[in-house]
């Protein structure tokens, strides 16, 4: 089942994202075999990072919740999850 996980950066996170990048990538790499698509979301002018989107192929919603409930890199964001069967 495909799930959409949208991490929206919290306001004012700015350069803190750079400090969290290594932890975020290391965490998300654990799911590489399940990721269908992933990438950043940007402001309309493309200048600022606003979050990220991940489409993951998982057997159930609990798996999507585990991905979205990751380490500090992800908890620095507000999370939105949705599923489609």
Residue ranges per structural domain of the chain: 2-84
Dist. CA 15–CA 32, nearest whole Å:
26
Evaluate whether 69 touches 28 at the Cβ level (below 8 Å). no
Whether the per-residue pLDDT at 60 is higher than 80: the answer is yes
Q: Taking the CA atoms of 20, 23, 26 and 32 in sequence, report the sign of the dihedral they define.
A: negative
Whether the per-residue pLDDT at 44 is higher than 90: the answer is yes
Whether the per-residue pLDDT at 72 is higher than 80: the answer is no
Does pTM top 0.75 for this prediction? Answer: no
Structure tokens at 13: 């996170």
> SS3 of 85, please?
coil
> What is the assigned CATH class of domain 2-84?
alpha beta
Q: Report strand pairing: 49-57 vs 2-9.
A: antiparallel
């Amino acid at each position: 089942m495909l799930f959409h996980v949208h991490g929206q950066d919290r306001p004012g996170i700015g350069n803190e994202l750079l400090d969290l990048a290594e932890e975020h990538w290391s965490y998300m790499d654990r799911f590489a075999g399940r990721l269908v698509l992933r990438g950043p979301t940007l402001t309309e002018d493309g200048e600022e990072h606003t979050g990220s989107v991940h489409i993951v192929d998982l057997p159930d919603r609990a798996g999507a919740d585990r991905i979205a409930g990751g380490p500090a890199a992800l908890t620095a964001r507000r999370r939105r999850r949705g599923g489609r069967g």
